[in-house]
Structure 1
Amino acid sequence: MANQSEVFPVIGMSCAACATSVESQVGAMEGVNEAVVNYANQQLKVVYNKDVVKPEAMKESLLSVGYDIIIDSENALEEAGEIRKENYQKLKKNFTWALILTLPVVAIGMFYMEMPYANEIMLVLSTPVLFVFGKQFFVNAAKQFKHGSANMDTLVALSTGIAWLFSIFNTFFPEYWHARGLHSHVYFESAAVVITFIMLGRLLEERAKHGTSEAIKKLMGLQPKELTVIRGGDELLIPINQVQVGDLILVKSGEKIPVDGLVSEGSSYVDESMLSGEPVAVLKEKGSKVFAGTLNQKGSFQFTAEKVGDKTLLSQIVKLVQEAQGSKAPVQKLVDKIAAVFVPIVVLIAVLSFGAWYFLAPENGFTYGLLAMVTVLVIACPCALGLATPTAIMVGTGKGAEIGILIKDAASLELAKNVNAIILDKTGTITEGKPQVIGDKWWVTDQQYQSILYSLEEASEHPLAQAIITYLKEKGIDKTKIDDFNSLTGRGVSGKVNQQEFFAGSHKLLKEYHADVEDENIAQWKSAGSTIIYFFTPEKLLAVIAIADKVKETSKQAIKELHSEGVEVYMLTGDTHSTASSVAAQVGITHFYAEQMPTDKADFVKKLQKEGKKVAMVGDGINDAQALAQADISIAMGKGSDIAIDTAGITLLSSDLRKIPQAIQLSRKTVATIKQNLFWAFIYNVIGIPLAAGILYPINGFLLNPMIAGAAMALSSVSVVLNSLRLKNAKI
């Protein structure tokens, strides 16, 4: 069996009933073993026998029921994104025109029914609303009907279509009703309002959704399109797709490393923060491993390609992020699952109502049956259902933005309230994410020596040099002239002032000239995981500078609040064990893991999930993107990388960890509002549909007028919106 698994972007889905249709359509094809649709990111995962069925056949099958898939694997995400963008703009344009035409129809229908040619004017204005700007409802409903299925479009098309046809009849043949002692009401405004409201709901939903492909695109963008390869002693600039394992590649200063490999000649510092999350660049010399997407700093070197194409670590991260994102689902799924059953039930009730009146009523059975059927379809239109989730999301996200919490998707709102385990990255999340001088000790107090250190570090390429420069600059120290400057790779720097030689560097460099220094301050700084820079001459030690990534002032309080809420807090970092231990102790974290690579973090998330925990991952770097995508809830720090922010469902604008408990509280209130909206929407239907069918007529002669049903439908939508707006004043 030549089985293979592929993921295709899906175009044209508007509800979970659509997702079910896509699954069943593709799943029923010969050779397809499994078809799973993720409505949240609009993707179809198919496991199929490539010898029996081809993607082109799946595409053709879906086109027949009104959907489409992108099978061009190389540019699928970009193409799907462009199509969805075009569809959104088209929907926005159609809604605008529908609203412009609907407003006068509503005004005439509610207040000026007796004006001359009122019905004819409403007919002219409402017709394009239904069949020009809202034609997608009727087209999609027809395609669903053709294949024996139904979705939200079916109910919209039926209710508005019958109301429009009924109104046409009443406009041109009013005497039919007058002869039976009934008034010939028209329902053009109900039909137009339903179409316009549903389009508004879909616009709100599209605005609430955010494409998951942006993070993937930016991760892919980390890899350069071209590289310099050395073949036969010549330097050749070639496209990335032509590089082969074993090629000798030249990386110049400031360039991104194109593929994974081993350094064979030269040395440099490489910024690997996209992998490790650590702000300090890593020294790369002969025999060191380098990875695609990382940034070479000031030196240049040659390396031998070991992994190319989709085998690089960056490509694996892209793949894993994509797969993890595909497992998410929005809160809207509850509405759409119920709507999938709700639609055929409502249609059945409408038909049964007509049949009951027709066969049981002694006179005018057809007339009352027709009125009952139209009224049921009008009052049951899922406008309130369609608005219940997106309006609450829009208000909830607006409220979040006011307090510095950006909530990007409904999945985060649905699950954040259930979080019982939070994983925190260290650098940039618990700490500031920027190396700073946290202390210094001078054995010689003459300010000229501080000027010498300033000048030595300014000439240095070491990534920690900037921390010392900033520190001394803030103290008002000026530069001095340095002679014979020399960079001592992996150890530090040296230079001369008035023929006196000075050194600044690591403990390794110090030991070449001096014995170990016994000092209480140095011991404390080392135990806290700080990096120590030694400044000395061959004759004596002048000063030591301690550099560390400072813990944010708010981190300890935030972690205390999370603990008090019963949330387990874990810290994962790419830094050393001693540094991780020190930071964890400062903020009150007992569970921490050091020297973690991106895949380790994602695996740890999976481990907690297997234990039944609802996991939130908080990070700020590209190295966190994979774990962020895997977690149930992903939270990015606002000052972090674009990749982390795009991958995450929630972004904290201030990078203040105290916002996490607030985000959980906001989630609880927003989801509560959504549930209230759904409750009232369903209660409205539970009460309204039987009344519309005429259940009270045998008891007290009450028969609900379709006009009142239309007003009730509009009122239900307004009540949902008003309930959502209450979130604006909620205390978080």
Structure 2
Amino acid sequence: MASTPKEPLKVVIEPTSSPASQPRTSKWQARFSIEGMTCSSCSGKVTEMLRALPFVRSADVNLIHHYAEVEYEASSRDHCEKKIIEAVEDMGFGCELDHLNENVEVTPVWEAVFSIAGMTCSSCTGKVQEALQGVPGVLEAEVNLMQGSAMVKFEGGRDAVTDNIINAVDDLGYDINLGEIRDITVEQNNETRTLQLRIGGFFCTECPKNVLRFLEQYDPPIKIERSYLSEEDRKNGSKKKNDPATVVISYTPQVPFHTVRTVIEDLEALNPAFEVSVYHEPSIEERAKIVRGKELKQLYIRLAVCFIIVIPSFLIGMVWMSFVPSHNKQRMYFEEPLWAGSVRRMDWALLILSTPVMFCIADVYHKRAISEVVALWRPGSRVPMGRRFYKFGSMNLLVSLGVSIAYFSSLALLIKAACTPYDMSHMNENGHVSSFFDSTIFLTFFLLIGRTMETWSKAKTASAVRGLTELRPSEVELVVDTVDTAESSSPDTPTGKEKNIFQETPPQMRTVKISVDLVEAGDVVVIPPEGIPVGDGKIVRGTTSFDEAALTGEAAPQFKKEGDEILAGTVNKGKAVHVKLQKVAGNSMLDQIVRVVREGSTKPAPMERIADVITGYFVPVVTLLAISTWIVWLSLGYTGAISKHWKPHDDTWAAWALEFAIAVFVIACPCGIGLAAPTALFVGTGLAAKYGILAKGGGEAFQEASGLDVVVFDKTGTLTMGHQPLVTDYELVIEGEQINGLDEQKILQVASKLEEVTAHPLGRAVVAFCEEKTTGTIQAVEVEEVPGRGLRGTFEDDEGRVQAIIGNEAFMVESGVAGWTQKYQNLLQKWKSEAKSVVLMASREVQGDGTAVPFELRAIFAVADPLRPEAAYVVKELQKTGHDVWMISGDNPTTAKAVARKVGIKEENVLAGVLPNEKADKIKYLQQTAPKRPRSKIARKLANALSSTPNAHRAIVAMVGDGINDAPALTNADVGIAIGSGSDVALGSAKFILVRSDLTALLTLTSLSKKVFNRVFFNFFWASIYNITMVPVAMGFFYPIAQARLSPVWASAAMAGSSLSVVLSSLLLKTKWPGVGFRTKVVTEAEMKKVVEEIEAEGRQQV
């Protein structure tokens, strides 16, 4: 239970400013010296305590040098320093301020996600992106057509810039709402939880203020990030008036005393009328789903009304006028004049029917077209004057122009007819009606059909993120002891009702069913059969199997026992187990996957940028063609260059030529070109996530992966297992019982102490081996890591001071180590030829006057890192498809080449002894020197034209790695691919992440990327050919030959079919149909073993 006042209503409430009006904070960096820390446990506790302070943004404690680097943000420097020193001293350590940097003003950089409704093609997204980038303060903006969202990075005032962004998009005629927003300049603290509380039951204007004051005085401390409790707060925070009253808080959970459950209980105790719950803003996927639903509903209504109008229009304008004899009484009745001049009943009927279609059904096109034009020409527009004439409009403008011209030209003809006396001779003509009112109706009808089917198809692409977020359960069984349940979990509290649970639960334990929002890291929960964990954690009781297919693509359930890690989003396929949660509420593996997929979905492929350029100039070009078409045909008609029999008797040349222009406006379709890449990439990203591949680099990464020439593997942790290397052999270089005060125990203790500070797999293997062989420890005075070489340190005990180094052979040579006899050189060569890595240790005694003798070799270790069983198979398959496979390693050349031989990599393709900072240089070297895969001349030219690399003629190189030292190479490679079990730095540097530590996913990635981009090329080709062929048809190029032309009605149907066919083409990727769908091959153990045997046989033949 939180140590809040027992009677909250008696808390002294002092006037305080709201969070929005608090003074501007500053960022400080300080170094504190800390005395009394003796081990890593001490430094770990100090680090944990510092990071838990609400104003601290980062804290790093150095055990060897006894200091802490702390970065904090606050308005009062002295107050924070005092709090830090007091907190450290309360733990029993001495603490004082050593150094403080100058006051640095914080310039926050925000990353916001907005949902945008109404975008239909890349022309729309281009307009929106241009508007976003024109907002002062915006640094970067990416618009996602398929999700109907935009990710914007901006600096400056959060609320002011957000309002400007919303206004800029709203001016274009699109609906926009703020989804998520975060300050990316603040380092995220995984131990601190940030959430939004919804508080209902306010009955006066003082209620929000009382809640804020109560939270500000809460103990343990709670930080109020933002408040939307009052109407004024919601208005200032870009919220709507009817949005719920919420407050965003951050705190450090201390289970079971300080949790979200206790905070809610205390808030509700503040006033019985208050109702408090955890509130989640709708995610971008949920907003997209809602927007798609509303859009479809509106389209269905418009389509239904239009269909009702189409029926009489079809009968009057087409059936009676085209298929009924001219002497038929009903037809003659419709052709009789009515009310004014020679306007026939048919014309009045079609006017009445088309008017609601024009202004009430097709208004969605008109409104957005007008908004685009107004935004372009409004005062203060940032678009250069000249550019406004050659780059404007979207599909909405083309449709609006086509429909409007058909309607208003018909209205002009009707007015003219109303002023013309009726001529009886017209009753005997078989010509069609000299108006386009029926075209207005049918144009709108077919356009609505196309738009409805297109929207429905886009919704069916089903965002990969939406599928992942649906893996979260809504409730969970929390394990509590009987006493705690009785005291704090009454039936009326937010934690729910107490009840008995599974037989696996001890008799003294009970559970309560609570919302998943109320669990904290550190809670123990029960995962029942077929249950889904609410977060990542470790099993503390029971054994079972979990289906991880949703995250990793692994079909077979994975056996889990006590101590094993389980992940959110997996499914328990066995018995109920107890799990202690370690990561919840946005920090789990599932949440990281969601963030990566979202980030990738906003990054367009280079080919998309080409499509954006084309569609950006598409509307002006089509407008020019339509006007030119009308003028040319009009001139030909009035000059007599064409036969007068080409037009109906009761038609004018102006109206007859106008039908060509309307058809050009309607049939030209930038949507197909604009949708060619986004739809295929959207489906491809979902398929990749299904198979455990996260496309962090988005469309650009897919495009580069589809044209790989070279694949470079790191050795340790990539081709080898990495996480479980073992010391198989070791040799002490020692004569007698000891040399220079070091016996066998001391040598192994020093080796263990040195390797403790590194996360390298070889170092961990040495530590595990030494700890088994020794008892006790030795005091380290100083330990320093030498990148790419090893570690050096100074140790002290009762017998004196010793300096020691441990690492690879190059480190020993550079340090001038003595003791290299032929015996040990032969032993090292033998181990390396067996594909074992070697670790060497040397030491020297430090004299009293500070002088030291040369280092002498003391111990050598052989570490065997087992190869991944699929490594050889993956290498061979890549070589079959024409990829040049290389291996890069910091290990010695003998060991590296031995590993390469085992997996089938040519020895000349091995780069060994490479330092971490040199790996990036080796990648650049391969990019310039490695040969490109053989391709057809057309494919090569197309790839060069669309490639995003500065030198498209060079090799496209992928780097596959997992370690921190691989990060520079992953960044410099065209396609960085990180193994999911790798370090956070490696994952952050990669463009693709393989969630499973299984290299066969790499084969899935290469085949999927090729399939996706083949579909992109097909879509682009189809959409381009459609426009290239259909626009001339609509212009009447073939009319002189066959006197047949494409009417505006059928042109609209063809346009709808163009964009719809592109979407359906992309959707076919989700099928497994031969030739059109995507299928991945399941690799068996027998196939892997066969490849290994073939490689071994080839090796024996070469010997």
Shorter chain as denominator, the TM-score bin is 0.5 to 0.7
Structure 1 equivalent of residue 633 of structure 2:
357
Q: 2:693·2:994 contact (CA, 8 Å) conserved in 1?
A: yes
Letter in 1 for 2:1034: A
- CA shift for structure 1 position 720: 1.2
Q: 1:663 to 1:183 in 2, by over 3 A?
A: same
Distance 2:411 2:663 in 1: 20
Counterpart code for 1:378 = V
Match of 2:927 in 1: 609
Does the aligned pair in 2 maintain the 1:108–1:118 contact within 8 Å?
Answer: no
CA distance in structure 1 between the partners assigned to 2:749 and 2:967 by the alignment? 38
Per the alignment, do residues 369 and 644 of structure 1 end up closer, same or farther by CA in structure 2, a change over 3 Å counting? farther
Letter in 2 for 1:572: I
2: CA distance between counterparts of 1:602 and 1:697? Answer: 62
State which of 426, 435, 448 in structure 1 corresponds to 2:715.
426
For the pair 1:380 / 2:687, whether they are aligned, the reply is: no
SS in 1 for 2:606: coil
Larger helix share, 1 or 2 = 1
User: Could you tell me how far 1:379 is from its partner in structure 2?
Assistant: 0.9
**Distance in 1 between the 2:387 and 2:414 partners?**
38
Distance 2:1038 2:840 in 1: 87
1:330 paired residue number: 606
Instruction: String of CA shifts for 1:465-519, please: whole Å, max 9, x gaps.
Output: 864787899xxx9x99x56866697689999xxxxxxxx99899xx999x99989
In the TM superposition, 1:588-607 aligns within 5 A as 588-589=904-905, 590=907, 591-607=909-925
8 Å CA contact retained: 1:102, 1:189: no
In the alignment, which residue of structure 1 is the partner of 2:1069? 727
Give the secondary structure class of the aligned counterpart of 1:634: strand
Q: Residue 656 of structure 2 corresponds to which residue in structure 1?
A: 368
Inter-CA distance 381–720: structure 2 relative to 1 (3 Å threshold): same
Q: By how many angstroms is 1:526 displaced?
A: 5.3
Q: Which residue of 2 aligns with 1:256?
A: none
Picking from 621, 635, 638, the partner of 2:977 is: 635
State the shift of 1:350 in Å.
Answer: 1.0
Q: For residue 530 of structure 1, what is the aligned residue in structure 2?
A: 837
Does 2:393 correspond to 1:154? yes
Q: How far apart, in 2, do the equivalents of 1:150 and 1:156 lie?
A: 17
Counterpart-to-counterpart distance in 2, 1:426 and 1:371? 68
- State the 1:670 CA deviation: 1.8
Matched, 1:584 2:900: yes
Is the counterpart of residue 101 in structure 1 residue 298 in structure 2?
Answer: yes
- Structure 2 stretches of 5 or more lacking a match? 1-108, 135-139, 145-149, 152-167, 173-181, 187-236, 239-280, 313-351, 419-432, 466-602, 638-643, 645-650, 733-744, 784-791, 798-803, 842-858, 930-953, 1073-1077, 1081-1103
- Displacement of 1:681: 1.0
Post-superposition Cα deviations, 1:183-237, rounded to whole Å, max 9, x if no partner, equal: 512234566678889999999999899xxxxxxxxxxxxxxxxxxxxxxxxxxxx
Q: 1:725 is aligned with what amino acid?
A: L
Query: Pairwise mapping of residues 119-268 of structure 1 onto structure 2 (< 5 A)?
Result: 120=356, 123-128=359-364, 130-131=366-367, 135-136=371-372, 139=375, 146-148=385-387, 154-166=393-405, 169=408, 175=414, 180-182=433-435, 184-185=437-438, 186=440, 187-189=443-445
Closer/same/farther in 2, CA of residues 137 and 683 from structure 1, 3 Å limit: farther
> Structure 2 vs 1, CA of residues 686 and 680 (structure 1 numbering), >3 Å: closer, same or farther?
same
Q: CA deviation at 1:388?
A: 0.9
| Contact persistence 2:461–2:683 (CA under 8 A) | no
Q: 1:597 Cα deviation (Å)? A: 4.3
The residue number in structure 2 matching 1:399 is: 687
Question: Retained in 2: the 8 A contact 1:152–1:339?
Answer: no
Assess if the C-alpha contact under 8 Å between 1:101 and 1:126 holds in 2: no
8 Å contact kept, 2:122–2:615: no
What is the TM-score normalised by the length of structure 2?
0.40
Give the structure 2 partner of residue 662 of structure 1: 1004
Cα deviation 1:242-292 (Å, max 9, x = unaligned): xxxxxxxxxxxxxxxxxxxxxxxxxxxxxxxxxxxxxxxxxxxxxxxxxxx
Amino acid at match of 2:885: V
Separation of aligned partners in 1, 2:286 and 2:406? 28
Give the deviation of 1:677 after TM superposition: 1.1
Q: Alignment identity in percent? A: 28
Shift of 1:119: 5.0
Residue by residue over 1:430-488, the C-alpha shift from the partner in whole angstroms, topping out at 9 and shown as x without a partner, is: 22232521536899xxxxxxx99999999994657864787899xxx9x99x5686669
Aligned to 2:1020: 678
SS in 1 for 2:863: strand
* Shift of residue 376, structure 1, vs aligned partner: 0.9
Q: CA 1:438/1:605 → structure 2, altered by over 3 Å: closer, same or farther?
A: same
Residue 702 in 1 paired to residue 1044 in 2? yes
**Deviation, structure 1 residue 726:** 2.6
Q: CA RMSD in A?
A: 5.9
How far, CA to CA, are the matches of 1:134 and 1:603 in structure 2?
54
C-alpha distance in 1 between matches for 2:366 and 2:291: 11
Contact 2:608/2:674 (8 A) holds in 1: no
The alignment partner of 2:1044 has SS state of coil
1:296-307 counterparts in 2 under 5 A?
A: none
Does the 8 Å contact 1:102/1:192 carry over to 2?
A: yes
Residue of structure 2 aligned with 1:561, choices 877, 888, 904: 877
CA separation of 1:597 and 1:97: change in aligned 2, threshold 3 A: farther
Residues 643-687 of structure 1 deviation map (CA, whole Å, 9 limit, x = unaligned): 433443333232333333432222222222112112221222223
Aligned equivalents of 1:455, 1:690: Cα separation in 2: 83
Distance 1:38 1:132 in 2: 21
Tell me how far 1:120 sits from its aligned partner: 1.6
Match for residue 726 of structure 2?
Answer: 437
Q: Deviations over 1:295-338 (max 9, x none)?
A: xxxxxxxxxxxxxxxxxxxxxxxxxxxxxxxx996222342344
- The 1:595/1:131 distance shift into structure 2, 3 A limit, reads farther
TM superposition shift of 1:397: 2.6
* AA at the equivalent of 1:384: G
Distance 1:205 1:722 in 2: 9
TM-score under structure 1 normalisation?
0.58
Residue aligned with 1:424, SS: strand
**Which SS does the other structure have where 1:726 is aligned?**
helix
Aligned length: 538
Shift of 1:384: 0.9
Distance in 1 (alpha carbons) for counterparts of 2:400 and 2:415: 20
Cα distance, 1:349 vs structure 2: 1.8
1:691 matched to 2:1033? The reply is yes
Superposition deviation, residue 692 in structure 1: 1.9
2:310 aligned to 90, 113, 137, which one? 113
Letter in 1 for 2:630: F
* Residue aligned with 1:434, SS: coil
Matches of 1:207 and 1:177, distance apart in 2: 54
Which stretch of structure 1 is more off in the superposition, 172-181 or 604-613? 172-181
In the superposition, relative to structure 1, how do residues 631 and 194 fare at CA in structure 2: closer, same or farther (>3 Å)?
farther
Q: Of residues 981, 985, 990 in structure 2, which corresponds to 1:648?
A: 990
One-letter code of the match for 2:874? Answer: A
Partners in 2 of 1:650 and 1:624 — Cα distance? 14
1:723, distance to aligned residue in structure 2 (A): 1.8
Superposed CA offset, 1:76-101 (max 9, x none): 9879xx99x99989995876654432
**Secondary structure in 1 matching 2:707:** coil
